[in-house]
Amino acid sequence: MRKIPRPLRQIFRPMTPRSSAIEQGLVLTSILAAVVLAIMALVVHRINDDAEQASKRSIRSIDIAATLDKLQLALRDGDLTGRDLASGRAHERADADRFDAARFQARLNLTALGPLAGDDPTQSERLSRLNPLINRKFGLGLRSYDVTTPGARDEIDSLIASMRDDETRRLETYRATQRDANERSTWIMVGALAVVSLLSLVFWILLKVEFAARRALEVRLIESATTDELTGVANRSDFDRKLVQEWTFRDRYGTALSLLIIDVDHLKRHNETWGHVGGDAILREVARRLAARLRRTEVLARSGGDEFAVIVPQYRKEAMAIAEQLCEQISEAPFFVQANDRPTSVRVTVSIGVAEASDVQSPRELLASADEAMYAAKERGRERVEAYRPHSTIGGMTVARPLVDLQARSVVDTRAKPFRSGTAG
């Protein structure tokens, strides 16, 4: 392939072993369509050549027949002139002019028949016999016209009739050849167009399959770039991008925006107890329960090892209510992990921090504020929701307001409740 010029390498690149079967099918379909069209063009060209030759020969046959008719008319004029003169019903001078005109037309038509019948040996032989008979007929002059042998006119008529019959048969043959050529050309074009249409359909189907495969690949690539492999929710990079988008939308239209940071309590202890396989199962179940509670307008993402983030287009009060419901959603039913080849129930809780966009100046500050609130919830006993409060200025001094729980209580306390048996979720 290196010896082939670069443009040709690009054209024939799909035919290399590294290309997909679909690409090879597309190239093969294109080549087959081109070959079919080329063969059709060659065959139709050959048929058209035959039809053109038949057309030329039919025109020559028509010309020969027309010339024979003119020759016979000239002979009749000569006969009539001679008979009129012999019977004394015409003037000699007028008859001489008519006779000379008939002789001129006869010799002119004989001269024209030479090139027309030159390719046919039979017609040439008849013409060679006809020529001296007519010359002898007109060569004796008007006065001696009646002394020609009686059988000469019959022989002339017989030769002319034979030549005309042959040309009539040939004309029918040529016309039949033209009709057959036209029919064959039509059917060949119809067949070739049908094959090309079929190949075009195959080409279109292959293109659709190729586009669908590439689209599926693009979707998989986008998902792999924006989806967390373990939990199936958005990953950190996609979360950062969507947070900036929501912040821009809020700045433009003045809508509400809050952020929830959710941390799984004691995940390290679960990993040490049940192994990382059990810890991964807990994270997947946490993501599933969170996603089951959230609406389509709310974005769930895994922002870290044991942390999740939720973008909520609501004010602080509504965001706190959603956070409480999420906290309850996680802790209301036990989780189940595999231990000693049988499922074991595990109680899992989360701590949630909530921050509102109106309290900060940038998406980065919003994320830091929600994270700070989440750590405050963990320090205050875990399994609770805390909201971030911005700093205030008193007497010219900046005083940091403490992070407070708007509901002033833990979200749920199930430590005294027994676990319910059943499937997690």
> Tokens 């001489």 sit at which residue?
96
More confident call, 243 vs 64: 243
* DSSP codes joined into one string, 36-91: HHHHHHHHHHHHHHHHHHHHHHHHHHHHHHHHHHHHHHHHHHHHHHHHHHHHT-S-
Q: 3-state SS string over 263-288?
A: EECCHHHHHHHHHHHHHHHHHHHHHH
* DSSP codes joined into one string, 210-253: HHHHHHHHHHHHHHHHHB-TTTSSB-HHHHHHHHHHHHHHHHHH
| Of 49-53, 306-310, 358-362, 411-415, minimum mean pLDDT range | 411-415
Residue 421 in this model has a pLDDT that exceeds 60: no
Band of residue 145 on the pLDDT scale cut at 50, 70, 90: low
The topology (CATH level 3) of 231-399 is: Alpha-Beta Plaits (3.30.70)
Band of residue 221 on the pLDDT scale cut at 50, 70, 90: confident
Question: What integer pLDDT is reported at residue 425 of this predicted model?
Answer: 26
Residues above pLDDT 70, as percent of the chain? 80
> Average model confidence (pLDDT) for the chain?
79
Residue 59 in this model has a pLDDT that exceeds 50: yes
In angstroms, the CA 74 to CA 86 distance is: 18
Question: What integer pLDDT is reported at residue 424 of this predicted model?
Answer: 27
In angstroms, the CA 125 to CA 101 distance is: 27
Backbone conformation region of residue 195, classed left if phi is above 0, alpha if psi is from -120 to 50, else beta: alpha
Q: Do 231-399 and 13-199 fall under one CATH topology?
A: no
What are the pLDDT digits (tens) for 333-372? 899 887 667 788 889 999 999 999 999 999 999 999 999 9
What are the residue ranges spanned by the domains of the chain? 13-199, 231-399
User: Radius of gyration of the chain from Cα atoms?
Assistant: 53
Residue 401 in this model has a pLDDT that exceeds 80: no
In angstroms, the CA 89 to CA 189 distance is: 67
> What architecture does CATH give domain 13-199?
Up-down Bundle (1.20)
Question: What integer pLDDT is reported at residue 408 of this predicted model?
Answer: 34
Question: What integer pLDDT is reported at residue 403 of this predicted model?
Answer: 45
What are the pLDDT digits (tens) for 246-283? 999 999 999 999 999 999 999 988 888 888 888 999 99
Amino acid identity at 420: R
pTM of the predicted model, to two decimals? 0.53
